[in-house]
Structure 1
């Protein structure tokens, strides 16, 4: 297993405390009381690694939070220089900068993904992994985010997204409009709360 390119002592307790503080301020923007658990983060990392295998370009992490999924992505073998972490909240973005040396930290709104990538000079994307609470965001915001993701991805590229809900995290009407094919992973019962990782692709010609 390759070394994780993070600064010494990524403090999970400090990250959880910061995440909780942000949740108390604005629960609907966070989607959960605590960061993703280890098993969920690992499942997301495995799905992302499979999605980007054989493809050039960056792996984009949306809603990187306190870096729990980031650690799993690095541990799964995704090179730090190919990771771009998008985080809207300045306090969380600062936390990521103080704990990770290799990945690019992009402070901004995922709804402006195409503009953010252009500003950062990110020309190609191999996969996108998201911890955004799509089910609790306004429909027009979700629409903008998902459209932006699949404008950035090449044909066949994948969005990896988890959900706590019983249905897919990308609304069915939107996935049908874009011609997306969603693949559901197993429910991770030991996560709090239990979660499912979905992978969405836009087949060639869709």
Structure 2
């Protein structure tokens, strides 16, 4: 850190509530100030406000607000999720007249080595009102639900992301299909990777 600060034209501090409360924040800012290196505090989250210890340390500093749009690829992590269902015909009808077994799923592509639970906290699955219960909450991987039935219908899905991503819930509608062995679509979600 010392070498970087001493040889810097300026020190940019990307301020978040978590960073300002870390031991490194105070240490880095005070050291830069001692070395007379200009400090450029940058607000990257609109909800961030300086804590009480920080205000006296930077009394003359102006806080730059960085608005990084979703169109910018800098600081954005794009993840692809597969939303869909599998289907297989039952060899005989159930007592309720069901002819098919299906599994609705939300999963990463097979090439993705990240744990899906790094991103997804919970999924609310709203089934047809004839299912009991019609609302199923999936809160761990694998994010899937298997049922038997006889007809196709629209499934409403609300995906909640892990808190640290600060991403709003995503609502998706999936048309359950009983014509193919597997059917899915790719859904791309962008996360701010600098938070």
Taking structure 2 as the reference length, the TM-score comes to 0.26
**Which has the higher Rg, Structure 1 or Structure 2?**
2
Q: Which has the higher strand share?
A: 2
Taking structure 1 as the reference length, the TM-score comes to 0.25
